[in-house]
A and B are shown apart, each in its own frame.
Chain A
């Protein structure tokens, strides 16, 4: 039982009752938020895992094709072929709001519209394997971008869930029980004060009554004396 350091007064009691109501309401809302976030997060994570596995596998294949291509061409020649891109990629970033977490949505634009037009080199001095490698990489890029989007989303959701969970727990296990305990403490203290006041009044009343009876008796005695 952890009682807060407050004065046991009626005003404090009213304040604490208000605080408890707010805390309970906040707790309920945050709990709902956490549950919904968790649902979204798990969906996202499942997606991320599948996509990541796929991207990694595809990328490995692309690396493989590049290795083959580089085996058929000299290093400098290949570098020269790839150094100056014809294609350029620009990214538009918008935000989506998932339970008050801003997550990025990427939309990418390429300069050349035609997918067959991505090779930044002439075909005379390069091997066909390089074409395949570049094309394959272009295909993976789509998935890689999607991966970036959902992986970042997962990271940000994870952060938000962690924060929300801390808040929910703090409210559930610290703030609410402490406030309840303090309210009980103050109520008991006030009741005790009431009882103390009542008994004190009864006692005083008894004493006054006894005194009045004494006085009355004395008066009666005096009157009787005079009468005789």
Chain B
């Protein structure tokens, strides 16, 4: 059983707290930087990547790349600015993908 790490990607204020808990926090300035870091850590042994929704807006393509892969699981979390509802929308999208229509 291999052991994996957890990464948190987001703006400085949003990720600092996670750093204190021992997760690997990656404070980034913008989506460009986040993109390069995401692709880099996807190759390393990170099982879960928490990504702030603010960044996720600009990184749809990159997230879609890992959607069907087993690792990393990219999970959106609200950043400092509050929830943008993207996480919820993704669930809806998954339902639509599976069922054909949103039935929930």
Contacts and interface: CB of A to CB of B under 8 A. Distances in A.
Nearest to B14: A63
A7 interface: no
Interface string A154-184: 1111110110010000000000000000000
Nearest to A48: B91
Nearest to B80: A63
B42 interface: no
Interface residues of B, number: 41
A89 B17 contact: no
Given A92-B3, A110-B22, A45 B17 contact: no
A145 B22 contact: no
Given A89-B6, A111-B22, A157-B98, A56 B77 contact: yes
Contacts of B73: 104, 148-149, 151-152, 155
B77 A59 contact: yes
Interface string A15-49: 00000000000000000000000100110011011
B59 interface: no
A94 interface: yes
Interface stretch (A79-87, A190-198, A207-215, A216-224): A79-87
B81 to A, nearest CB: 9
Interface residues of A, number: 64
Contact of B17 (A82, A90, A111): A82
24 contacts: A42-B104, A45-B91, A45-B104, A49-B88, A52-B88, A60-B82, A66-B16, A66-B17, A70-B13, A82-B16, A91-B6, A91-B48, A92-B1, A93-B1, A106-B47, A137-B18, A141-B21, A144-B75, A144-B77, A148-B48, A149-B73, A152-B75, A155-B67, A159-B68
Given A49-B104, A67-B13, A144-B77, 12 more contacts: A48-B91, A56-B77, A63-B13, A63-B79, A89-B6, A93-B47, A108-B6, A109-B3, A137-B17, A144-B50, A155-B94, A159-B97
Interface of B: 1-6, 13-14, 16-23, 47-48, 50, 67-68, 70-71, 73, 75, 77-80, 82-83, 87-88, 91, 94-95, 97-100, 104
